[in-house]
Structure 1
Amino acid sequence: MRGCATATNCGTTRRDAHAPADTGRMSRPTAPPRELRPYLGELVDRTRAVCGPRLVSVLAVGSVALGDYRHGRSDVDVTVVVDDSLPRRALPELAGALAHPALPCPAAGLELVVYPAGFAARPSGGAGYLLDLNTGPSLPERAAYDPGEGPAFWYVLDRSIAHQCGLPLFGGPVRGVIAAPGRSAVLAALRASVREHAEGEGHVADNRVLNGCRSAVYCRTGHWFAKRAAAEAVAAAEPDFRPLITEALRSFARPREAAPALPAAAVGDFLGWVAGQVDAAAGTGGGPGAP
């Protein structure tokens, strides 16, 4: 997504005073950003054309749902839920209909995941998708159909965010469609995410830091916050990391291609601290959001 030794200790008066306010968490957008509305409308129309009556729901998740979409920097994250009876031959057709530039993506990219309704309605720590599509001007093109071919943590985190604050574009209420993964599954996914951001290739430095902030705040509160709100909370509570987080926020305001490098050692130290927060939260078996 150094200071306090455990995630439960992060719940002290000092740190809670700097946590994002509940009102900020609840004031989610009721519609997508204006610059995305024609695109998302066409995306829904094309998805309906391919899936027909077997389309259950289309949700905006990620930065759009969290109210932190930055045009020219953010991806558009979309979750699609279909009836389990959807013929599998429809999936490549859907990928082709939505791929950039057949459907020009105005954002940095589209990350779209299709789930069968039966899987999506159950808490799970698995990937479980039918289609994972990455496309757009700044994303490597990818259409995957086997949920076992890669790590599951991305999908667990997306479904957790979707359950909390997914923005419906088509279909019924979010929580009637997407089940929340259990806290232990989310914490395991967060640990894998932090490891990926520390060791994986292709991640913008500011995104490594801001995702780490969001992970740390989730451990503290059991809720998902926009990257900027989470970063401000961690910077206020952890002065040692404030300069790095401030630089990450400045970088995040720029287009992805113009993002400057951040000190690798400082980013590594910060992500090591975040990993400690996640491990400590997992070790307690309790805290906010625990079942």
Structure 2
Amino acid sequence: MLPLQIAENIYDVGVQDWAARDFHGYKTERGATYNSYLIMDEKITLIDTVKASFTEELLANISKVTPLDSIDYIVINHVEPDHSGAMPALAKACPKAKFYITMQGKNEAIQHYGDIFDFEVVKDGATLNIGKRTLTFASMAMLHWPDSMATYSEYDKILFSNDAFGQHYATSKRFDCEVNQDELFYEAKKYFANILWPYAKLIGNALKKLGGLEIKMIAPSHGVIWTEHILDILRCYSEWGSGVQDGSLVIAYDSMWGGTEKLARAIARGAANAGVVVKVFKMGATPNSTVAAELFTASGFLAGSSTLNC
């Protein structure tokens, strides 16, 4: 059976990591995906790779569509190992492939894997013709690494957005309209809070850069593919990037003998009685990443600790 065809001659050859529960300290209760996209055109092109431990599955997925040694171009939007782990194996299996990457990405890839690749360094706005399609590269520096970029196919109106618009969300359904919407937007919010929040001020400029593009699909490197809710996720990113607050109060505490917990509960009752939406978290029982997902849109934050830990 062929991998899922997400558009004309474009295949989802990435993998689902159903067992993932921790991503650099970010708790991924719904797993993760490492998305990779194969474009069958006059020049066969792969967009992004996968975590090293899933290399064999990636190669098998590609092989169901085309021989590995037929790949002409491999676009590396970002060199963090969850995206680039399969690069050394691809360099060996695809001997004629040229790797398209930013200068920062090239330097990082050599540090990670050695100088074993045929690199073509691209700048912001550079293009690559692969047949029917012309790919355009857009720098997304510090969203969330210095090397990050996105790739746009004008022919398909698809934005291969890498980390932007992603979610750590493993599901057998691959499109936004096929999954639970509350889960999807919560995981998108949680992802933003834990991955992109430190660089939120850069989101506005990134969205302006994308504003002139006609986008019918956003294909990120993590999670499901956006088709029907593109305007919704763009609006969310605009709000999250500009620091829009939702009026809620987050109370995060830990308690040794229960005194601090009583204070937290009393404050929560008082605020709730005044009409405030309150969210209370006991930190010893709650992942930091879960609290971050609520904190970055909250209007108020209270932290409580027992005196032993102060």
Please give the TM-score of this superposition, normalised by the length of structure 1: 0.29
- Structure with higher Rg: it is 2
Higher relative CO (Cα under 8 Å, sequence separation at least 6) belongs to: 1
Q: Which protein has the bigger strand share?
A: 2
Please give the TM-score of this superposition, normalised by the length of structure 2: 0.28
Q: Which protein has the bigger helix share?
A: 1
